[in-house]
Amino acid sequence: GLGRLGGVASKQCARQIKAELGQVRIATMGKKDISVKIYKDAADRCYYMQETSTEIGSGFTESSVTTAPEKIGSSRVTIKWIKEYSDKSRSALTELGDGDAIEVKFNRTTGGLDYISGGTQYVLSELEISSGTKVHTLELSKLTGKVTGD
């Protein structure tokens, strides 16, 4: 039935986010600064991921490349987040609404998470991806940058 379909949608979305963040974390270490934006498009109400990588070239010039958005979830999926702030406090579980975005950035030296600035500094601590009655939780370690969960 429809419930099963919904559960598959959220599981695929969670798997895709986990795999992508894992790849970016490895690509970041020692090479370049990469940030990942997860957002909900206001027009089609679907979820997307987009990477921006910055490399320091010769003569210390920075060049940035942003990938084409990759669709990670349909409008049937709901993504919620928890942020951890620089004072170690945590936000409430908040839905990523139409036109909203969250960002993840890995540290080149440690592979851990770097604070995202702009307003209150934060690192993404947790993602909850659901569809139908199925809920998948991903946790991000600030120290190591590892993403765990299903």
- Candidates 69, 55, 67, 36; CA nearest to 147 is 36
Span 122-132, mean pLDDT? 95
Using CB atoms within 10 Å of the CB of residue 17, give its burial: 0 to 12 exposed, 13 to 18 middle, 19+ buried: buried
Residue corresponding to tokens 């969670």 = 14
Question: How much is the mean pLDDT over the chain?
Answer: 89
- Give the CA-trace dihedral at 10, 11, 15, 17, to 10 degrees: 10
Return the SS3 of 54. Answer: strand
The reported pLDDT for the residue numbered 2 is: 44
> H helices then E strands: how many in the chain?
1, 10
Provide the residue type at 32 as one letter.
K
The reported pLDDT for the residue numbered 59 is: 73
Span 97-125, mean pLDDT? 90
Q: Using one digit for the tens of pLDDT, what is the confidence trace for 19-65?
A: 999 999 988 886 778 899 999 999 999 999 999 988 777 777 778 88
**Residues 108/30, Cβ–Cβ less than 8 Å:** yes
The reported pLDDT for the residue numbered 5 is: 54
Provide the residue type at 45 as one letter.
R
Provide the residue type at 137 as one letter.
T
